[in-house]
Amino acid sequence: MALQLGQIAPDFEQDSSEGRLKFHEYLGSSWGILFSHPKDFTPVCTTELAEAARLMPEWKKRNVKPVGLSVDTGENHKGWAADIEETQGQKLNFLVIADHDRKVSTLYDMIHPAADPAVTVRSVFIIDPQKKIRLIMTYPPATGRNFAEILRVIDALQLTDGYKVATPVNWTDGKDVIIVPSLSDEEAKQRFPEGFRTLKPYLRMVKQPKLPSAS
């Protein structure tokens, strides 16, 4: 059965660019992003890994640990890391799983035989500190991932976990948010004493509370 939102992300132990990885233990109390690549030395993913490394200050600010994965060996990872630094001007600073036996790829349903039975599709899993899967995205081979969107989703998840709000279409940090319908007007007045706008009984807009920050 395919993984679904709200499920506990499967735990595993596998080789990585930083030695043997025990996934849940490694994440600890942090959020995690697990993102897969078809294999090493692929052009789109070369740019993606560099961008993920470049964004390390943003991951740390949000208490997120990025984890890459491809079906190649650790030795291949070393050569690819050198290419990434040479072509993208960015050194890798997060671990990459060496899923040479396809164990993790199979566990997370990253092998799609109709696309290519030999390599992983380009998946993204956002995992919260309780190890629950909060987002799943799969990209086609020729389309680079949008890491600004991944950061935006993490911001939205952390915001909505901390407050009784939801984020509207195209929301970005600093824009108004929606008070969840399960909160009564009286409860909303107590929670948001600065006031809110009622467009419809089910659609109440309020100034965004401050985003949580990593401790």
The residues annotated as belonging to the active site are 45
Name all contacts of 149-155 with Cβ < 8 Å and 24+ positions apart: 150/33, 150/124, 150/126, 151/55, 151/58, 151/62, 153/126, 154/31, 154/33, 154/62, 154/64, 154/126, 155/62, 155/211
User: Which spans in the chain are helix H?
Assistant: 23-27, 43-54, 56-61, 74-88, 103-107, 147-162, 185-191
